[in-house]
Amino acid sequence: MNALNLKKGSTSHSAYNLRSLADTTIESHTLTIMVDNEAGVLARVIGLFAGRGYNIESLTVAEVDHEGKRSRITVVTTGTPAVIEQIKAQLGRLVPVYEVHDLTIEGASVERELALLKVTGTGEKRVEAMRIAEVFRARVVDSTLESFVFEITGAPKKIDAFTDLMRPLGLMDSARTGVAAISRGV
Q: What share of the chain is helix, strand, coil (3-state, %, to 5)?
A: 25, 40, 35
CB 34 within 8 A of CB 92: no
CB 169 within 8 A of CB 125: yes
What are 77-91's pLDDT values in tens digits?
999 999 999 999 999
- Phi, psi (deg, nearest 5) at residue 24: -110, 15
Cα 33 from Cα 21, distance rounded (Å): 25
pTM: predicted TM-score of the whole model, two decimal places: 0.78
List the helix and strand counts (H, then E) for the chain.
4, 9
Cα 36 from Cα 31, distance rounded (Å): 16
What are 125-136's pLDDT values in tens digits?
999 999 999 999
Q: What is the pLDDT along the chain (186 residues), one digit of tens a residue?
A: 445 555 555 455 555 555 555 678 899 999 999 999 999 999 999 999 999 899 999 999 999 999 999 999 999 999 999 999 999 999 999 989 999 999 999 989 999 999 999 999 999 999 999 999 999 999 999 999 999 999 999 999 999 999 999 999 999 999 999 999 999 987
As to burial, measured by CB atoms within 10 angstroms (0-12 exposed, 13-18 middle, 19+ buried), residue 77 is: buried
Q: Which domains does the chain have, with CATH numbers?
A: 27-102 (3.30.70.260), 109-183 (3.30.70.1150)
